Structure 1
């Protein structure tokens, strides 16, 4: 049996307000083609279908198109679980239609999977043999009979298991260490309970959306733990599993210290500049009952690269790079060294120069007696427009401020700065440096449903 593991699609996620739905659609097409080329029997999507709990219509349409293409008319198995970004009920909502195509959708950790509704007599044996069939199922697990495979797959699926979504009080204390121990113990127990459905004659798979201690994080992920309270240790995974498919971390990586193969497939696109240079991929697994699995990472080609430009020679150097066609199809984090900052006219000029500029960081000379600020510190310091974009998104439940609105806000800020500078010249202001360069860096944020989920 050949299994494809993917996760963290984040349909609807933008890059500082830049729409990426076309890149995400390109990924969907590539994934469907890959499944056909590699003769994939079963697709595991380990959570975070969407970026927000209230996704746009175009994000939902893309998800349904992905399900339709991946299922191959019911001939290929597909199992999708909700991540911390997803509304669990929204993931489940398409269940009645998905069931007919052999697609299993699970929103909550204790959701139950029903068996295939029609019998072989009702549908005809020849038709049934060509479609995925649920031959067993219950709370948190499903057994799938897949056309062309002699063996069945038992999939134990645990969507994002927060305390709220488990609907359990896991600790009576707020002590972080005890909370972490209680959470780790409960998740381990849950995995072991589900592993009771694994058999020697089946391919046994576990999938979940959570953070394992030791995993390498990126800026684009929204934390799903308070300190370490929502993290688990690598030894919670049952040894009876042939493979454990995880979602949440955007960098493709194996989980070190686990007694079975445990892996994050990573996100299909780079969603922040902290992921610059990461090679995005999906994971292919070949599995047979009673044998170790074979794991292969397959690189993806979809999406624009995220790159950094450091124009030490100022705007003229940026102009030359653009004229040379450098990184013409990329999203760019631009640092431009200037003497007196960048005004709105400069920013407009640079944005018209290259549509891929996302962040524009003015790098000013270091004054005598000042301590030089590192590039990383300069990148991480939010500017006025970044804070406004973040504020607007939080107050509107995920909507993005368009460039015209941001420019209007910045013009008001510029007027205030001019007034403050005038007052300072008259001896009425303070001694603070009023020079402020504008940049466009922000992290997509959202509010999750559970009281203990933490937004970035």
Structure 2
């Protein structure tokens, strides 16, 4: 069989205020082309279809239009799980309708484990693939809160709950495999953070539990899994060095720190229970560039980029010693006659000065929640031990708010 592993589309995502529908539509068009060119029979989407739990109509239109177009492709099965950004109820609302098209959606954990175990059958109705479709596991899904529990106790229970869920569901799937055909390949999907996973600054990976309370070791997954398709981390990577346990990564850059980074989806070829993995490089549909230097260096690089006539989205870091009072105006004028757009200007000299003077030098919409919080800790000279406790408290508050948002 030929399968395709992708995740973290984040449809509806805004990039520094810019909508990305055209870019995301180009990716979905390209993905459909690859499914046809590579004769892909099974599509695996490991969570974070949407960027928020309340996606707009245009984001939902991209999603359903893509699923509709799959009907005319070689792809016979689609398996989709919910991620931490997705609304479980929104994903599952059309579940029974989509199942008639061999599109299997598991947005949440509820009821018996059988819901998360799929037997995919060929045209002759014989089983050809077993799938454990495990959505993002929320705190309430896998443990019961206890009175006066410590963060360490909560973290231990979370990790044990995640490991136990995978152990139980894979054991049940493996038992089913022995009854159907011991040579049947078993694929597991998941959406979580494995300890040691690589991230990039500002890449959008939500840290709902500060300190990695719910990160599990890469060796925690049952051996009976023949291929593990993970989502959540936006950089494609192997898990614990295992070529058949992988993150596909987000197909589009989620921050300027990913400018120029190769993005990919993973083409899988199975022969029995053996899987070969071949990355397919995703084209860059919207070029990004992050530039650093003093004013002269920035101007020179901007002119070099203008000569390429490429419609870059730019992030500029001014690192000169001189205070340039009209920096913003001069930089914006430099790109006025081009197809490039400046989305972010960071004046590091002004920032350093403002931090020392305990003054705000940037608008809040330029900063993440974590950046604002860290600035407050720095300005108020909070001791490191107190910082750790405050970060954990912030994580708890954000997790609570995120869960209320989903209800």
Q: TM-score, normalised by structure 1?
A: 0.71
| Aligned-partner Cα distance in 2 for 1:347–1:205 | 51
Given that 2:317 and 2:347 are in contact with CA atoms closer than 8 Å, whether structure 1 keeps it comes out as yes
Secondary structure of the residue aligned to 1:226 is coil
The number of aligned residues is: 362
| Aligned-partner Cα distance in 1 for 2:299–2:74 | 57
Distance 1:17 1:149, change over 3 A: farther
Offset of residue 208 of structure 1? 0.8
Distance 1:274 1:111, change over 3 A: farther
Distance 1:245 1:286, change over 3 A: same
**Residue in structure 2 matched with residue 397 of structure 1 by the alignment:** none
**Residue in structure 2 matched with residue 154 of structure 1 by the alignment:** 130
1:359 aligns with 2:334: no
Q: State the structure with more CA Rg.
A: 1
Offset of residue 23 of structure 1? 0.6
Distance 1:345 1:278, change over 3 A: closer
Given that 1:41 and 1:76 are in contact with CA atoms closer than 8 Å, whether structure 2 keeps it comes out as yes
> Once superposed, what is the RMSD of the aligned Cα atoms?
3.4
**Residue in structure 1 matched with residue 157 of structure 2 by the alignment:** 182
Distance 1:203 1:224, change over 3 A: farther
Which is worse superposed, 184-193 or 244-253? 184-193
Given that 1:16 and 1:358 are in contact with CA atoms closer than 8 Å, whether structure 2 keeps it comes out as yes
| Aligned-partner Cα distance in 2 for 1:365–1:211 | 36
Question: 1:26-425, aligned counterparts within 5 Å?
Answer: 26-72=26-72, 76-110=76-110, 138-147=114-123, 152-164=128-140, 166=141, 168-169=143-144, 174-195=149-170, 196-198=172-174, 199=177, 200-218=182-200, 219-220=202-203, 221-256=205-240, 261-289=244-272, 291-312=273-294, 313=296, 316-317=299-300, 320-321=303-304, 323-325=306-308, 328-336=310-318, 337=320, 339-342=323-326, 345-346=329-330, 348-350=332-334, 352-354=336-338, 355-362=340-347, 364=349, 383-385=361-363, 387-388=364-365
| Aligned-partner Cα distance in 2 for 1:6–1:297 | 11
Distance 1:450 1:105, change over 3 A: farther
Q: Deviations over 1:36-74 (max 9, x none)?
A: 111111111000001111111000000112222334479
**Residue in structure 1 matched with residue 393 of structure 2 by the alignment:** none
| Aligned-partner Cα distance in 1 for 2:89–2:52 | 13
Distance 1:110 1:233, change over 3 A: farther
Offset of residue 320 of structure 1? 2.9
| Aligned-partner Cα distance in 1 for 2:261–2:6 | 16
Offset of residue 176 of structure 1? 2.9
Given that 2:35 and 2:73 are in contact with CA atoms closer than 8 Å, whether structure 1 keeps it comes out as no
Distance 1:227 1:322, change over 3 A: closer
Offset of residue 278 of structure 1? 1.6
Distance 1:365 1:11, change over 3 A: closer
Which is worse superposed, 187-196 or 19-28? 187-196
Secondary structure of the residue aligned to 1:238 is coil
Given that 2:5 and 2:46 are in contact with CA atoms closer than 8 Å, whether structure 1 keeps it comes out as yes
Q: TM-score, normalised by structure 2?
A: 0.79
| Aligned-partner Cα distance in 2 for 1:302–1:194 | 38
Given that 1:7 and 1:46 are in contact with CA atoms closer than 8 Å, whether structure 2 keeps it comes out as yes
Q: Deviations over 1:364-387 (max 9, x none)?
A: 599xxxx899xxx9xxx98533x0
| Aligned-partner Cα distance in 2 for 1:293–1:172 | 46
Offset of residue 28 of structure 1? 0.1
| Aligned-partner Cα distance in 1 for 2:288–2:124 | 40
| Aligned-partner Cα distance in 2 for 1:255–1:391 | 28
Which is worse superposed, 89-98 or 222-231? 222-231
Given that 2:193 and 2:232 are in contact with CA atoms closer than 8 Å, whether structure 1 keeps it comes out as yes
Offset of residue 358 of structure 1? 1.4
Given that 1:30 and 1:302 are in contact with CA atoms closer than 8 Å, whether structure 2 keeps it comes out as no
| Aligned-partner Cα distance in 1 for 2:337–2:47 | 38
Which is worse superposed, 191-200 or 264-273? 191-200
